[in-house]
């Protein structure tokens, strides 16, 4: 995936993202790091085609495989979702319908995308849950979302999204609402699953420790500009830009 | 689940009953017998005679077909039109939303009786033209409910997540919007039977002497004090159908949502 000279403006012509150039290798994990308001989520929205109506792409292109994402209409996007492109969100408990059992949602998501019958869908669901280290699969599939902890729910979400075998996963702050222990578990499962399915992953996070744990390369965003982009070790060990140094020194443990 | 099956079988039984009614009815529903005018129920004529001495039991059986058919046709017409319009307005938003909703506002500003009289005046008198006219004005109600539900659901995070995992607009409509609407549709069947009865009374619906429950109710209105059974039986029939479909709708909703 390639982003070229992308500029996004709001109603008052303030630049939210300013001339972003980014080349993401297929199969790699890229972390986008930055403080609140640096444009991380806007970047994710641009890629996902869910830019809020008050923001506009002023210039630039996003090339994904052979699609020019900024020109796509909703119909084509709808086809991409699930099979090619999918997302994991910050708040796991809001991502599942609260009044439908997890199993039913899981099965419906699988069978509407991969066209398998119900028994096959259930076995896929169980396999995916086991891969995310949730071994009590019967019980989880028979629960409502509120019966599980947030860490477990996020792992269920990850299991659902990876069951679709997407080629590009956008994870918007996947661990920020979790406690430290679940954070590590969730990151481990994401690493494990993406190395298995070889898909490209873009992780939006404000935590450098998350980025250093999971990513191959790190992008540092500051006020809509990319101030640093490089391999993980390079960015962490010899930061070039003052802002990165500031971020690094403010992170307590790495 | 079991409850739903029972309700479905009752409904199917009712519909079958209305279809075979002409063969079941003990006597001709149009035959006038002056000796039985306002006659109370007895063992031969189970539900008594009406103000022209016609047999109420036969008329009830024959009327079931007209009553149910018109009510279903009406509800299908207005709900399909309304749901499509509302879904377009809700999902698309913007100009199409404004256009559809303003057309809806315009239609709501018309008194419905005047609108129906005008449309029926142009198309000719008959129950089908009344149904067309009423559908043209009452879809607004459904489109508004649909639009609001769509907008509300679209703001939920789990809908966003469902989209990202490949759910289409149609799937979202069926999964999240239809369960609520089906209840509305079932609850509305009663209102529609009564409303169509009102239009029959004005001469815009089922034409007398053909039996229809609403028609029977309005024809016997003036005898409420002297011969209340004229109103009680058709009223009871409407009441039972309405209760049945309300219950049906609620059971269906419980099944479709909390599962």
pLDDT of residue B258: 58
Is residue A197's pLDDT more than 70?
A: yes
Q: Confidence band (pLDDT; 50, 70, 90) for A99?
A: confident
Q: How confident is the prediction for chain A on average, in pLDDT?
A: 83
CA nearest A132: which of A155, A166, A114, A110? Answer: A155
Write out pLDDT tens, residues A122-162. Answer: 888 888 888 888 888 889 899 988 888 888 888 898 888 88
pTM strictly above 0.95? no
Spell out which chain A residues touch chain B, with contact meaning CB-CB distance below 8 angstroms. 48, 50, 78, 81-83, 85-87, 89, 91, 94-101, 104, 108-109, 112-113, 157, 160-161, 164
Contact between B54 and B33 (Cβ < 8 Å): yes
CA nearest B220: which of B92, B84, B54? Answer: B54
Q: Which residue has the tokens 């259930």?
A: A122
Using CB atoms, pick whichever of A48, A101, A160 lies closest to residue B165. Answer: A160
Question: How is residue A6 written in tokens?
Answer: 């992308």
Task: Give the contacts of B18 (CB within 8 A, at least 6 positions apart).
Answer: B61, B64, B65, B67, B68, B69
DSSP structure class, residue B49: B
Sheet holding A15-23: strands in order across? A15-23, A2-9, A56-64, A67-68
Mean pLDDT of A89-103: 85
Interface residue of A95, A106, A121 to substitute, partner B, most B CBs within 10 Å: A95
Mean pLDDT of A41-48: 85
| Strand partners for A203 | A31, A171
Q: Do B164 and A99 touch (CB under 8 A)?
A: no
Provide the shortest C-alpha distance from residue A94 to chain B (in Å): 6
Question: How is residue A94 written in tokens?
Answer: 């809001």
Q: Do A94 and B168 touch (CB under 8 A)?
A: no
DSSP structure class, residue A11: T
How many angstroms separate the Cα of B71 from the Cα of each of B31, B37, B221? Answer: 26, 30, 21
Provide the shortest C-alpha distance from residue A3 to chain B (in Å): 21
Is residue B103's pLDDT more than 50?
A: yes
Interface residue of A100, A102, A141, A163 to substitute, partner B, most B CBs within 10 Å: A100
How many angstroms separate the Cα of A72 from the Cα of each of A20, A66, A69, A77, A82? Answer: 19, 11, 5, 7, 16
Cα separation of B83 and B143, whole Å? 5
Cα separation of B51 and B39, whole Å? 9
Contact between B53 and B37 (Cβ < 8 Å): yes
Cα separation of A193 and A163, whole Å? 10
Cβ-based contacts of A48 with chain B (< 8 Å): 164
Cα separation of B33 and B53, whole Å? 5
ipTM, 2 decimals?
A: 0.73
Q: Which residue has the tokens 């939006």?
A: A204
Under DSSP, is residue A72 helix (H, G, I), strand (E, B) or coil? Answer: coil
Q: Which residue has the higher pLDDT, B100 or B2?
A: B100
Under DSSP, is residue A18 helix (H, G, I), strand (E, B) or coil? Answer: strand
Using CB atoms, pick whichever of B169, B175, B259 lies closest to residue A101. Answer: B259
Q: Do B168 and A164 touch (CB under 8 A)?
A: no
Mean pLDDT of A38-55: 83
DSSP structure class, residue A94: G
CA nearest B172: which of B162, B164, B182? Answer: B162
DSSP structure class, residue A71: G
Cα separation of B60 and B236, whole Å? 11
DSSP structure class, residue B174: I
Is residue B111's pLDDT more than 60?
A: yes
Sheet holding A217-222: strands in order across? A85-88, A168-172, A200-205, A29-33, A217-222, A225-231
How many angstroms separate the Cα of A188 from the Cα of each of A54, A141, A194, B19, B126? Answer: 36, 22, 10, 65, 71
Is residue A254's pLDDT more than 70?
A: no
Contact between A101 and A143 (Cβ < 8 Å): yes
Contact between B172 and B153 (Cβ < 8 Å): yes
Cα separation of A182 and A188, whole Å? 10
Judge if the upstream peptide bond of residue B133 is cis by omega within 30 degrees of 0. no
Q: Which residue has the tokens 């599942």?
A: A96
Cα separation of A149 and A132, whole Å? 14
Count other Cβ atoms within 10 Å, centred on residue B112.
15
In angstroms, what is the C-alpha Rg of chain A? 18
Q: Confidence band (pLDDT; 50, 70, 90) for B101?
A: very high
How many angstroms separate the Cα of A180 from the Cα of each of A35, A129, A209? Answer: 20, 21, 11
Mean pLDDT of B110-122: 88
Provide the shortest C-alpha distance from residue A80 to chain B (in Å): 8
Q: Which residue has the tokens 């009830």?
A: B60
Contact between B186 and B193 (Cβ < 8 Å): no
Mean pLDDT of A179-197: 84
Burial group, residue A79, by CB count within 10 angstroms (0-12, 13-18, 19+): middle
Q: Confidence band (pLDDT; 50, 70, 90) for B226?
A: confident
What phi, psi does A59 have (nearest 5°)?
Answer: -155, 170
Q: Do A112 and B167 touch (CB under 8 A)?
A: yes
Q: Confidence band (pLDDT; 50, 70, 90) for A253?
A: low
Provide the shortest C-alpha distance from residue A118 to chain B (in Å): 16
Provide the shortest C-alpha distance from residue A88 to chain B (in Å): 8
Using CB atoms, pick whichever of B158, B167, B171 lies closest to residue A95. Answer: B158
CA nearest B166: which of A105, A45, A250? Answer: A105
Question: Which range (A198-212, B35-49, B100-114, B210-224) has the least confidence?
Answer: B35-49
pLDDT of residue B89: 93
Buried/exposed B155-182: b ≥16 CB within 10 Å, e otherwise: eeebbbbbbbbbbbbeebbebbbbbbbb
């Amino acid at each position: 995936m390639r982003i070229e000279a992308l500029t996004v403006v709001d109603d008052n012509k303030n630049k939210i993202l300013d001339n972003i150039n980014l080349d993401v290798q297929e199969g790699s994990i890229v972390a986008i790091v930055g403080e609140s308001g640096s444009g991380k989520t806007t970047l994710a929205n641009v890629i996902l085609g869910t830019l809020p109506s008050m923001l506009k792409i002023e210039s630039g292109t996003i090339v994904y495989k052979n699609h020019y994402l900024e020109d796509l209409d909703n119909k084509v996007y709808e086809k991409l979702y699930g099979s090619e492109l999918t997302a994991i969100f910050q708040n796991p408990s809001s991502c599942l319908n609260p009044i439908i059992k997890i199993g039913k949602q899981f099965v419906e998501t699988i069978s509407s995308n991969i066209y398998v019958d119900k028994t096959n869908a259930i076995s896929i669901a169980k396999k995916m849950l086991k891969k995310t280290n949730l071994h009590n699969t019967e019980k989880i599939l028979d629960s409502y979302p509120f019966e599980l902890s947030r860490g477990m729910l996020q792992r269920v979400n990850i299991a659902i999204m990876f069951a679709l075998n997407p080629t590009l996963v956008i994870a918007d702050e996947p661990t920020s609402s979790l406690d430290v222990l679940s954070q590590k578990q969730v990151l481990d499962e994401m690493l494990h699953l993406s190395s298995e399915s070889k898909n490209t992953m873009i992780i939006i996070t404000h935590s450098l420790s998350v980025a250093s744990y999971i990513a191959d390369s790190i992008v540092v965003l500051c006020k809509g500009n990319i101030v640093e982009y490089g391999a993980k070790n390079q960015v962490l060990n010899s930061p070039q830009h003052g802002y990165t140094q500031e971020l690094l020194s403010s992170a307590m443990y790495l | 689940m079991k409850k739903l099956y029972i309700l479905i079988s009752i409904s199917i039984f009712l519909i079958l009953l209305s279809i075979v009614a002409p063969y079941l009815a003990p006597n001709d529903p149009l035959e006038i017998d002056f000796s039985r005018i306002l006659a109370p129920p007895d063992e031969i004529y189970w539900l008594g005679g009406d103000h022209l001495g016609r047999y109420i039991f036969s008329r009830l059986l024959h009327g079931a077909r007209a009553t149910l058919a018109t009510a279903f046709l009406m509800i299908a017409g207005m709900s399909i039109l309304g749901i499509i319009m509302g879904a377009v307005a809700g999902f698309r938003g913007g100009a199409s939303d404004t256009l559809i909703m303003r057309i809806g506002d315009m239609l709501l500003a018309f008194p419905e009786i005047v609108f129906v009289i005008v449309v029926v005046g142009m198309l000719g008198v008959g129950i089908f033209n009344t149904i067309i006219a009423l559908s043209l004005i009452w879809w607004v109600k459904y489109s508004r409910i649909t639009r609001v539900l769509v907008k509300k659901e679209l703001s939920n995070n789990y809908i966003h997540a469902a989209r990202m995992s490949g759910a289409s607009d149609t799937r979202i409509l069926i999964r999240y919007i239809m369960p609520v609407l089906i209840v509305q549709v079932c609850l509305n069947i009663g209102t529609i039977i009564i409303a169509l009865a009102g239009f029959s009374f004005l001469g815009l619906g089922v034409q007398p002497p053909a039996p229809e429950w609403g028609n029977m109710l309005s024809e016997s209105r003036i005898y409420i004090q002297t011969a209340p059974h004229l109103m009680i039986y058709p009223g009871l029939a409407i009441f039972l159908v309405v209760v049945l479909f309300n219950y049906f709708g609620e059971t269906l909703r419980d099944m479709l949502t909390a599962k």
